[in-house]
Amino acid sequence: MCGIVGYVGKAVAPDNKVSPSHRPQEVVLEGLRRLEYRGYDSAGIALAAPGMTELASAKKAGKLTNLKNEILQNPLPEATAAIGHTRWATHGGPTDRNAHPHLADNGRLAVIHNGIIENFAELKAELVEAGVTFLSDTDTEVAAHIIARCYKGTEDLTEAMRLAVGRFRGTFTLLAVAAEDPTTVVGARHDSPLVVGLGDGENFLGSDVAAFVAYTKDAMELEQDQIVTITPTSVNVINFDGTPGKGKTYAVDWDAEAGDKGGFASYMDKEIHEQPQAIADTLRGRVDANGALQLDEVSIDESVFRAIDQIIVIACGTAAYAGQVARYAIEHWCRIPVEIELAHEFRYRDPIVNEKTLVVAISQSGETMDTLMAVRHAREQGAKVLSIVNAQGSTIPRESDAVLYTHAGPEIAVASTKAFTAQITAAYLLGMYLAQVRGNKFPDEIDSLLSALKAIPAKVQTVIERGEYVKATARSMKSADSVLFLGRHVGYPVAMEGALKLKELAYIHAEGFAAGELKHGPIALIDEGLPVFIIVPSPRSRTGLHSKVVSNIQEVRARGARTLVIAEDGDDAVRQFADEIFWIPNCPTLMQPLLAAIPLQIFAMELATTKGLDVDQPRNLAKSVTVE
Ligand code: AGP
């Protein structure tokens, strides 16, 4: 949930002059800027340099610009090592004093933290008893004092971290820097992300690669319960038990420019426009020389895929709606029952899971704690887990038996857009892979499905280019205080995703539901002028649902609703009942969500913009929810 950055520059030169490859302060502030989407209710930095008796630091509540202004007014000294943090508050309100870093040992040690230390209260009582004075309400300050006490006893920051983490329960990524060792930063991770950036005469740490991708694309992912010590010329990994550890190096497959807005007004607008590429890239390279589909990293034998008798998709939010869309396709192609379960509900319902269950975990960040915990539960019950994830090197893929990466590139805006359409694409690839392995579909049938999918990026581009009409409609609805979304079959999860977008961006009450449910209660909500989106299946759809949904439009229109219809080009049946029509190109029934979602994304973004809201960082939200 929080953004974490660590940096060590070149060692001190023989003439004892500080000569880091880059200015630590700049590296950390640039890294925090790229991580601000992870949490932004306060930010802070701590610096170490030869000769400092105590660390230099600054921290401020509010967005990163507040910290930068603070530093402008009270400049910080040059340094050789630095750690920085953007926070999404869990323990203690978003105030200056609760911002990280937290200092201990009279300012000689600084700590930043992502996660929750669940036993902080008992540790704090122990420290207060020992005479420690606390300046904040956070669990992180407790960790800082525990690490400081271990450091005093060992004079070795790595060993101090190792001893300290043995006292903590909960989830944490911790970074620590000490005034006495200004060319070292130590990091520890348990159930929370931490990656290493490998430089030349400098090394980096980050809660994700965005922290350092502007400086190096050589990265190293850490395993669970590992401690990493970086100096300008070394990276050393140990396990919490002290045994040597080994990180897994990889090359980051996107560059710093991809992390910028590329001329768009917001990351969200940029990412909506990137969807054709994200879908195409997710499809790319998935077919081997023999025309067979292939997944990224699979340690599940084909015989296991042939033996599964149920699939459970676990995810949260938008990712769950992507899974709900995929359910229709996978059941239709593979004839396996597919359940969708919200990850945070999954393990508490005591699910029936065994070695014949395939659990599919969908997550853009690969760090959503609810989903990670559900993955662990499923594996404990003997299920095989395949994850569909966007962020390479993140925790969920590392704890899965197989992974299918969406190649959507970094999704910075909190509201998920290109990840959603890429997740559906990847889930369809999985469905086709299963149909191939289990023999439900002949290769030529899979080829035709793949061809239909490959035609989707151009159709998505067409829908995006029709966006101005959607925006004009959104602007006309600036004062709307409630909007309904109706859909059927694969349009039903799209309706719910459309409602979620409006909720999280424009802070408007919105509800998505199955159009068939209307007459069972919700129709009582219909009132004069109430905006109602209706996603209409193709008139060519063999589901027989087109006429039913057109009737639904009639029913709500007759009761005064303002009908906003998403329909396929040429569908004249909707014209007489629609106040607004957002046309989408024709496509196969199961692929319509990849097109129908686009106007809903654009609508929510434009309405939020019209209301003067921050579409990239909506209130109360964070890009990756790494606490349960
Ligand atoms: C979607 O716009 C939201 N940002 C949120 O619902 C998100 O989809 C959910 O938190 C899951 O995140 P993940 O895909 O990173 O696991």
Last residue of a domain, one of 454, 489, 509: 454
Nearest to 173 by CA among 185, 188, 183, 184: 188
In a domain, 137, yes or no: yes
Is the CB of 140 inside a 6 Å radius of any atom of ligand 1?
A: no
State whether residue 568 is helix, strand or coil: strand
Is the CB of 538 inside a 6 Å radius of any atom of ligand 1?
A: no
**Distance (Å) from CA 111 to ligand 1 centroid:** 28
* Confidence (pLDDT) at 204: 97
Last residue of a domain, one of 258, 291, 323: 258
Helix (H) or strand (E) holding 373: helix 369-380
> 252 and 127 share a domain?
yes
CB 436 within 8 A of CB 292: yes
> 424 and 525 share a domain?
no
- Report residue 254 as tokens: 């996107």
* Residue 55, CA distances (Å) to 105, 124, 145, 180, 261 in order: 10, 23, 15, 9, 34
* Confidence (pLDDT) at 570: 95
Pick the atom of ligand 1 nearest to 414's CA. Answer: 4
Q: Is 2 a catalytic residue?
A: yes
> 72 and 153 share a domain?
yes
Q: Is 623 a catalytic residue?
A: yes
**Distance (Å) from CA 256 to ligand 1 centroid:** 23
Residue 516: Cβ within 10 Å count: 16
Is the CB of 318 inside a 6 Å radius of any atom of ligand 1?
A: yes
> 252 and 340 share a domain?
no
In a domain, 12, yes or no: yes
In a domain, 264, yes or no: no
For atom 6 of ligand 1, which residue has the closest CA? 317
Range 18-22 contact pairs with CB under 8 angstroms and sequence separation of 24 or more? 18/49, 18/50, 18/78, 18/79, 18/80, 20/79, 20/80, 20/202, 20/232, 21/199, 21/200, 21/201, 21/202, 21/232, 22/202, 22/215
**Distance (Å) from CA 411 to ligand 1 centroid:** 11
* Residue 444, CA distances (Å) to 434, 448, 450 in order: 15, 6, 10
> 56 and 178 share a domain?
yes
Distance CA(31)–CA(73), nearest Å, equals: 21
**Which residues, in sequence order, are CB contacts of 552 under 8 Å at separation 6+?**
486, 515, 516, 518, 534
Is the CB of 422 inside a 6 Å radius of any atom of ligand 1?
A: no
Measured torsion, CA atoms of residues 390, 392, 398, 404, in degrees rounded to the nearest 10: 50
> Probe ligand 1: pick from 364, 412, 418, 505, max atoms within 8 Å of CB?
364
**Distance (Å) from CA 408 to ligand 1 centroid:** 14
* Confidence (pLDDT) at 394: 82
* Confidence (pLDDT) at 17: 61
* Confidence (pLDDT) at 371: 97
In a domain, 336, yes or no: yes
Q: Which of 2, 150, 316, 587 is catalytic?
A: 2
**Distance (Å) from CA 117 to ligand 1 centroid:** 23
DSSP 537: P
* Residue 474, CA distances (Å) to 25, 134, 417, 582 in order: 42, 49, 18, 12
> 80 and 221 share a domain?
yes
In a domain, 185, yes or no: yes
> 525 and 576 share a domain?
yes
For atom 7 of ligand 1, which residue has the closest CA? 317
> 77 and 128 share a domain?
yes
Helix (H) or strand (E) holding 359: strand 357-363
**Which residues, in sequence order, are CB contacts of 493 under 8 Å at separation 6+?**
321, 322, 324, 325, 487, 593
- pLDDT tens readout for residues 536-592: 999 988 888 999 999 999 999 999 999 999 999 999 999 999 999 999 999 999 999
In a domain, 7, yes or no: yes
Q: Which of 10, 124, 270, 623 is catalytic?
A: 623
CB 404 within 8 A of CB 296: yes
For atom 16 of ligand 1, which residue has the closest CA? 363
**Distance (Å) from CA 318 to ligand 1 centroid:** 5
Any idea what the Cα angle at residue 471 is, between residues 468 and 476, rounded to 5°?
A: 130
Q: What is the CATH number of the domain that holds 511?
A: 3.40.50.10490
* Residue keyed to tokens 């309904």: 484
Task: State the amino acid at position 524 in one-letter form.
Answer: A
What's the gap between Cα 432 and its chain centre? 25
Residue 13: Cβ within 10 Å count: 10
For atom 9 of ligand 1, which residue has the closest CA? 317
> 618 and 574 share a domain?
yes
Helix (H) or strand (E) holding 295: none
CB 436 within 8 A of CB 568: no
> 440 and 473 share a domain?
no
First-last CA distance in the chain? 11
In a domain, 263, yes or no: no
Q: Which residues of the chain have pLDDT under 50?
A: 11-12
Strand pairing partners for 113? 174
Domain total in the chain = 3
- pLDDT tens readout for residues 100-152: 999 999 999 999 998 878 888 899 999 999 999 999 989 899 999 999 999 99
Is the CB of 112 inside a 6 Å radius of any atom of ligand 1?
A: no
> Probe ligand 1: pick from 362, 368, 389, 411, max atoms within 8 Å of CB?
368
Domain span at residue 232 reads 3-258
Distance CA(440)–CA(431), nearest Å, equals: 10
Is the CB of 624 inside a 6 Å radius of any atom of ligand 1?
A: yes
Distance CA(226)–CA(590), nearest Å, equals: 43
> 81 and 171 share a domain?
yes
Last residue of a domain, one of 204, 225, 258: 258
> Probe ligand 1: pick from 314, 316, 341, max atoms within 8 Å of CB?
316
* Confidence (pLDDT) at 287: 75
Q: What is the CATH number of the domain that holds 217?
A: 3.60.20.10
> 288 and 194 share a domain?
no
> Probe ligand 1: pick from 625, 626, 628, max atoms within 8 Å of CB?
625
* Confidence (pLDDT) at 305: 93
**Distance (Å) from CA 618 to ligand 1 centroid:** 13
